[in-house]
Every structure is written in C-alpha cells, then in structure tokens.
Amino acid sequence: MKLTEIGSNAKETAAMLNTLGPLQKNQGLQAVAKSLLDGEQEILDANEQDVAKAVADGMSPGLVDRLKLTPARVKAMADGLLQVVALDDPVGEVLSMKNRPNGLVIGQKRVPIGVIGIIYEARPNVTADAFGLCFKTGNAVILKGGSDALQSNLAIVSRIQKGLTSVGLPANAVQLIEDTNRETTRELMRMNDYVDVLIPRGGAGLIKTVVENSTIPVIETGTGNCHIFVDESADFDMALDIIYNAKTQRIGVCNACESLVVHRAIAKEFLPLLKKRLDEKEVEIRGDEESCALVEGLVPATEEDWGREYLDYILSLKLVDSIEEAIHHINHYNTGHSEAIITSDYNHAQKFLNEIDAAAVYVNASTRFTDGEEFGFGAEIGISTQKLHARGPMGLKELTSTKYIIYGSGQVRP
C-alpha cells in the first residue's frame, strides 16, 4: 500500500475517532486486549522468527532482550491496554471558561492531535502501547517499525485490527508500514498533509535522523545516559541495591543506569563493595584513573565513556569532590532523561532536584521507574527529553492538543 493511501486512511479514520465517546473507546481497547491474548501463540511464533534472525545477524544481547517477547510480555501488553481503559479520558476536558466584558464566553478544551506517526526500532511492545494511548485519545496512528521486528509487528497489528473490527470499530485506527527501507522512512517524514506529529523511539542515530530530516513537527524521545550519584552521606546498602537494580534489571532500556558518580570521600570503602555486587552480573566498570587505582579489575575509561549509552553490562565510574562537581559532570554528559542521587542529606537532595537538568530526577530510588506504567499513565508513547509540549513519560494528556471554544449571542467586533 502506498504511503499516501495509508495517510489518507489515517486522516479519514482520525475524523471518525474524534466522534467516539469514552465508552466506545474503552470497548475497543478491551476487545484488542482479548485479541492479543487469544493470538498469543501467533505473536510468539512471529517473534521467534525475528529473534532468530537478530541473533544470527549478531545483534547485541541488550537489543535482543528489547526485541524478545514472552508469554509474560504479551500479557503485559494486554494488561497495559486494560490499564489505559481504567484511566480518565482527557478528550473533551474543559480547561477554562471565562466571561469577557462584551458577553463572549471563551473556553479551552482538550482535543485529539489527529494523526500520529511513530518510527521505532526493535521493540514490538511499542506497537501495542502506541496504539492504546493513541486510540484512547482519539488519534489515528501510523507505525513504522524496524526490519528487526517486522514479523512481530505484523502479528501484533493484525491482532489489534481483529479486536477493533470485532466491535465495529475501524481497523485503520492503526496501520503498519511494512516497507522497512530508509527511503520509505524519509518519505514518511515529509507527509505533512497527512501526519500531524512524528515521534521517534529508538537509538541516537534514529532520533537524530528524524529530527534533522522531518518536515513534520517532532516530539523527541531521547536516549538514556542515566547517572546515579552516590553522595558522601549515602547508605551503602541502599546505594548498592539501587545501582544493581538500575544497571542490571534490564540492560536494553533507556532508563537503565549507564554512568555512576561517587563522592571521593567514600570511594575507598564503597568501591570494593560495588565491584563485588556488580560482579554477580559480570558488569564491566570503566573507571577514571583514581578509581582504577583503588580497585582491581576496573577498565580505564575514556572521554567517550562519560556520555555513552551502553545498553550492555557496562558502567562508567567517575569520582568527584563535591555535589557541585557531580551536578556539573552529570549536566554536561547526560541526555536529559533520568538522574538519581543516593544521599541522607536533605539539602543535597534538594540541590540535586533543583539543579539537575533532566526529565526525571530521583532521590534514593532507581532510574528504572521512569516509565508510563510506573508513573500511573498506563502504557507510554515514549519518554520525551525535549522541553516543548511534553517532557518525561508521555501518557494520554501529552497526546492531546487544545482548542478554544467561544460562545456568543450576536457579538460583532467594533
């Protein structure tokens, strides 16, 4: 199918979705959740083809983990849709209503954006998450997944469309572009007549390409060079648990910890404990010159390591003399995603919260919580690291726009 036909279908369907009420949208989401579970084996069989090809092609373990689906992950996709059902529908919410001296009543309310395009890499769960949030907010969605997950995405979209049509709703609420070549992606980036906003989800290369080449407005979902700063007053047991979770629970996700900053005053005592804990998962620590001198088995870091998103069992380590130095280092090398401090000092916690420039800033908690479901949004469309329109995990409200509604009684402008 030509892109222009896909765009035309989406625009027509978006107009129809704009007329649906919360009950109809929730019925559609429930039907799709059931369809995903009913088609679990179909989805897993398709995913197995993608994973086998990815392994044969030498894909890194972190990216294979992103690509792989299991019965639990299929169930999580369905559960994510049901969580969206339980959320309030923001469409139609009146944000303000004011009386003007001339008798006009001027209000503002939330409305769907229209048609949303999403370009993403080897994360098939994004297919269901993106559909759910877009559908709940009355938006049609055009999906452009990577070739690595093509069979998985085809199976998931097929099950979504079957669920929609089973309750009389349009299958074109979600469409997948099956052609995975780069020229097709570039063509999608210029479909201003059909697509209202474009959201890239993936590595730095993909995001940079979309931002630099799209003529459609872009919401940038950034990569995650996430830091944890272990302050001199940190509880060691807490710090070790948080770092272990943030680094090793899932290595191929954007909210995993990639960089560690430790106060020099506790380094001699803390670093051997850190090395022993991370050895449980064979994490390679790339440290600065001083940390390598303090602990055997560390790998010397290079300048490139301070700003790198590894998506692997690798962690950079930098020693600092103060919280001011830690904040300066983090703000210089971070990607604006998620940063954390482990501390028992209230003033340091507040200083970190106030001065770190990132979408999510934590005190004494793992960066792995930067996630739409964990924030109570149900699924998420992505984690925005830009500052206009949306920042952080993007839920339902971030997929709406607003318009002014004006009530008059015959007023004309003098």
Is position 113 within any domain? yes
Residue by residue, pLDDT tens for the chain (414 residues) are 899 999 999 999 999 999 999 999 999 999 999 999 999 999 999 999 999 999 999 998 878 988 999 999 999 999 989 999 999 999 999 999 999 999 999 999 999 999 999 998 878 998 998 999 999 999 999 999 989 999 999 999 999 999 999 999 999 999 999 998 888 999 999 999 999 999 988 777 888 889 899 999 998 877 889 999 999 999 999 999 999 999 999 988 889 999 999 999 999 999 999 999 999 999 999 999 999 999 999 999 999 999 999 989 999 999 999 999 999 999 999 999 999 999 999 999 999 999 999 999 999 999 999 987 788 776 677 788 877 778 888 889 899 999 999 999 999 999
Do 194 and 48 belong together in one domain? yes
Cα(390)–Cα(157) distance, integer angstroms: 27
What CA–CA distances, in Å, run from 244 to 99, 268, 365, 366, 398?
Answer: 56, 19, 11, 9, 32
Is position 414 within any domain? no
* Strands (DSSP E) found in 121-251: 140-144, 174-176, 197-201, 226-230
Do 117 and 180 belong together in one domain? yes
Is position 107 within any domain? yes
Do 208 and 234 belong together in one domain? no
What pLDDT sits at residue 121?
Answer: 83
Cα(140)–Cα(18) distance, integer angstroms: 9
Do 247 and 194 belong together in one domain? no
Check which CATH number belongs to the domain holding 256 and give it.
3.40.309.10
What pLDDT sits at residue 379?
Answer: 65
Do 214 and 240 belong together in one domain? no
Cα(218)–Cα(234) distance, integer angstroms: 40
Do 269 and 161 belong together in one domain? no
What pLDDT sits at residue 381?
Answer: 78
Partners of residue 174 on adjacent β-strands: 141
Check which CATH number belongs to the domain holding 79 and give it.
3.40.605.10
Amino acid at 176: L
Do 109 and 80 belong together in one domain? yes
3-state class of 254 per DSSP? coil
Amino acid at 406: I
- Structural domain containing residue 48: 3-221+381-406
**Tens digits of residue pLDDT in 324-368:** 999 999 999 999 999 999 999 999 999 999 999 999 999 999 999
What pLDDT sits at residue 44?
Answer: 98
Cα(43)–Cα(325) distance, integer angstroms: 49
* Strands (DSSP E) found in 20-163: 94-99, 105-112, 115-120, 140-144
Cα(313)–Cα(278) distance, integer angstroms: 9
What pLDDT sits at residue 221?
Answer: 79
Is position 208 within any domain? yes
Is position 74 within any domain? yes
Do 329 and 397 belong together in one domain? no
Do 338 and 282 belong together in one domain? yes
> How many folded domains does the chain comprise?
2
Is position 212 within any domain? yes
Do 233 and 339 belong together in one domain? yes
Instruction: Answer yes or no: are the C-beta atoms of 270 and 283 closer than 8 Å.
Output: no
| C-alpha of 264 from chain center | 34
Do 137 and 111 belong together in one domain? yes
Do 39 and 135 belong together in one domain? yes
